Chain A
Amino acid sequence: MIVADKKPIEEIIESVKEFKKILILGCNECVTVCEAGGKKEVGILASALRMFFLNQGKDVKIDEQTLERQCDHEYLEEIRDVVDQYEAILSLACGVGVQFTAEKYHSTPILPGVNTCFLGATEQRGLWTERCQACGSCILAFTGGICPVSRCAKRLLNGPCGGSSKGKCEISKDVDCAWQLIIDRLKALGKLDEYEKVQPIKNWSTDRAGGPRRVVREDVAL
């Protein structure tokens, strides 16, 4: 899933303080799972903002709504009738949802209420970690199912570097060395000899390096 984190409340206040009518718009997908932008977080943020404006002696209308998805035309249509009632929408979706909402409601300011962080998973309650950088040309088949692009701090395709120490990365003792994980896994698979195959220079044109990406599928197009 796409993992997001809450934005500091001060930053959110700074971005919405001029508005009198605000819709906080949550999303029921990834940001709900990572507890940053679902219905619950919409409610908490709405209360915090109401409190803030009350203390300021300002009369600001703050409404709450959570859509099934903000990255989908169909669900975004659900707010078409009410959009004009608001001076701004504070979207707690990922960056995709924020932009898709903005594209649809061109004359309404749409502000991001979370920081979109990475593609990852819930390792345990309260801990999300990165697993993929969507490089567009997956090499997991060669690396024991562990991604060095997203999990090695230097995205080494032929790692580990000399900084790997006791299973941890040189940048922090909290970060696993991806190449230690790869080697452990190759060993478990009885494929450690594959380690010596040199990974060729990668074609990064399918990565962000190639410019904004598209997936075109004629077989499923209408």
Chain B
Amino acid sequence: MNVKTPSKLEKIFAAGHVAVTSECGPPRGSDPDSIVKKAELIKNHVDAINVTDNQTSVVRMSSLAACIRIKLMGLEPILQMVTRDRNRIALQSDILGAASFDIHNILCLSGDHQSFGDNKQGQNVHDLDSMQLVQTVRYMRDEGKFLGGEEIKRPPRMFVGAAANPFADPFEIRVPRLAKKVTCGAEFIQTQCIYNLDRFEEWMKRIRDRGLHEKVYIMAGMTPMKSVGMARYMKNRVPGMDVPDDVVKRLEGTPKEKQAEEGIKICVEAMERLKSCKGVAGFHIMAIEWEEKVPEIVEKAGLFPRPAVD
């Protein structure tokens, strides 16, 4: 097996398994139990757990601290890091901090604009962008050096990921953009939540046309709808989200108390369909504040039990 890091996620991919990840959002407080409880809910059904970094620009417990908690449980965290809040000094420093706990996965993001969050009047940093952060982690790992050129004692050994949104505009550069992330050194990709399967498959086709699926592991992003209200919100309010009318209609036609169940069904059906989409190497399930449903989704999608790798 040809792997570059000790990452369990990388090993799962390298062994040819369909990988499954999910995410835990850290709490709006310092209670350590909340992250541990969330991780407990999903730990047997996923290979690795993303920990979001002040998602939607709302202040939460630091992603790194929550990752450490998860690591101490013997699980596999994926450290999400946005370039919004930290300059290159802080980013490199946090990467080292994570590496000191043998956190072996990182997802490099630019982050939502702070105007979405609870500190709208704050500055943003954006010293690097997400692609440059990918380059930075790869450089630190592969060259064993800081951006400043000095040698790192015990460099980080991280499997490096990035996000992709197949549904944002302009569509024509969505594949070139992924190609750019691969050039920068991204090794796995987690996509935005997929509801428009046709458009996603079109994107994947263009990825295959360029052979990019052989250079990077692409994980399809899945978020089950809890209700028709959520579907409408995602459709109309979340920038870069593509929710086709038939998804909204299907939930509209479902009695209120059955909508959550229907949402899970839609999600599982999509996963079944995308399992046979060439180039999809795994699934990233973002069940926002609904972590308890992740095991059910994974099981129904036929992805349980999770494989063991060493």
CB within 8 Å of B: which residues of A? Answer: 153-167, 170-171, 177, 180, 183-184, 192, 195-196, 198-201, 204
Contacts and interface: CB of A to CB of B under 8 A. Distances in A.
Contact of A204 (B127, B177, B239): B127
Interface of B: 83-84, 88, 110-113, 115-116, 124, 126-132, 135-136, 147, 163-165, 168-170, 172-173, 176-177, 179-180, 183-184, 192, 239-240
Given A156-B126, A196-B183, A163 B131 contact: no
A154 B176 contact: no
A162 B132 contact: no
A171 B169 contact: no
Given A154-B126, A161-B110, A201 B88 contact: yes
Contact of A163 (B124, B130, B173, B240): B240
A165 B240 contact: yes
A156 B180 CA distance: 14
B88 A156 contact: no
Contacts of B110: 154, 156, 161
Contact of B184 (A180, A192, A198): A198
Contact of A158 (B88, B113, B132): B132
Contacts of A163: 112-113, 168, 239-240
B168 A160 contact: yes
Contact of A170 (B112, B124, B129): B112
B92 to A, nearest CB: 12
A183 B173 CA distance: 8
B129 A158 contact: yes
A191 to B, nearest CB: 13
A164 B113 CA distance: 12
A180 B127 CA distance: 21
30 contacts: A153-B113, A153-B115, A154-B84, A154-B113, A155-B129, A156-B130, A157-B129, A158-B132, A159-B129, A160-B177, A162-B164, A162-B168, A163-B112, A163-B168, A164-B169, A164-B239, A164-B240, A167-B169, A170-B112, A170-B116, A170-B239, A170-B240, A177-B169, A195-B176, A196-B176, A196-B183, A198-B180, A199-B132, A201-B88, A201-B128
